[in-house]
Structure 1
Amino acid sequence: MTFALGAKSLARLEGVHPDLVRVVKRAIEITPVDFTVTEGLRTVERQRALVAAGASQTMKSRHITGHAVDLAALVLGEVRWDWPLYAKLAGAMKAAAKELAIPLEWGGDWKSLKDGPHFQLPWANYP
């Protein structure tokens, strides 16, 4: 089954780096699990609020510069947070990035705080 990004997801990609947008748009075409974009570009104020709420641990978020997106898995149109779904999403995102020759980091691969919905362009390649 082929999925497509909805209007809300496309709107949430506004301001996101074009390379990351390309990866997300290719990933939705090849993913085995439907997904929605929950966040792309964030304001400093939004990031500050997330840190204050404990939902983020840094003010150096790649979201602030448009170099990160958060995705949520959809099952029958409902957001699901089951970890195995995010491994499948990561597989599609990584495959799309490789196909497009765009480096990508997945928060689920981080050593400490694992963040399954989070994908970002690496600092080293996109300072």
Structure 2
Amino acid sequence: MPITLGAKSLSELTHVHPDLVRVVHRLAAISTMDFTVLEGSRTVAQERLNVAKGVSTTMNSKHIPGKDGYAHAVDIAPLVNGKVTWDWSVYNKFSPIVKEAARLEKVPIEWGGDWKTFKDGPHYQLPTKQYP
């Protein structure tokens, strides 16, 4: 059964690149796990705060809208019993579903959980090579 994106999730997608938005909508159509969009675009001021708090390591975040006016990243969290989880075993089950949604939409995607350092379970982004 498709997942219905809530008002907050839809609002978070407002300034996100349309290709990534398509992936999230496809995810809602195919996912067997409920999820929420935690964050789409963010301001430079928000990113400064995130770096200061240690929840981000760069001011070159793909959450900050680029020259095209869109954020090229989105944070998506699976829900367990209706609540956001930070359990890596759940993210490891959820990420293949997100990647399948991207494949179906023919949109290349990178998952923060695949990074060698500063692994970021909720983070999905468009690759810089294809989306400068």
Give the match for residue 124 of structure 1: 129
Q: Which residue of 1 aligns with 2:50?
A: 50
8 Å contact 1:33–1:85 — kept in the other structure?
no
Structure 2: runs of 5 or more not aligned: 66-70
TM-score by length of 2: 0.92
Distance of 1:45 and 1:89 partners within structure 2 = 30
Instruction: Return 5+ residue gaps in structure 1 as ranges.
Output: none
Opposite residue 41 of structure 1, the aligned amino acid is S
TM-score by length of structure 1 reads 0.95
* Equivalent residue, structure 1, for 2:6: 6
Q: Percent identity?
A: 57
Report if aligned partners of 1:90, 1:106 keep a CA contact under 8 Å in 2: yes
Q: How many aligned positions are there?
A: 127
The one-letter code matched in structure 1 to 2:51 is V
Structure 1 stretches of 4+ with a deviation exceeding 2 A read none
Match of 1:33 in 2: 33
| Residue in structure 2 matched with residue 17 of structure 1 by the alignment | 17
Alignment-derived partner of residue 75 in structure 1: 80
SS in structure 2 of the partner of residue 33 of structure 1: coil
Alignment-mate amino acid for residue 7 of structure 1:
A
Contact 1:32 1:88 in 2 (8 A): no
3-state SS of the aligned residue for 1:49?
helix
Aligned-CA RMSD value: 1.0
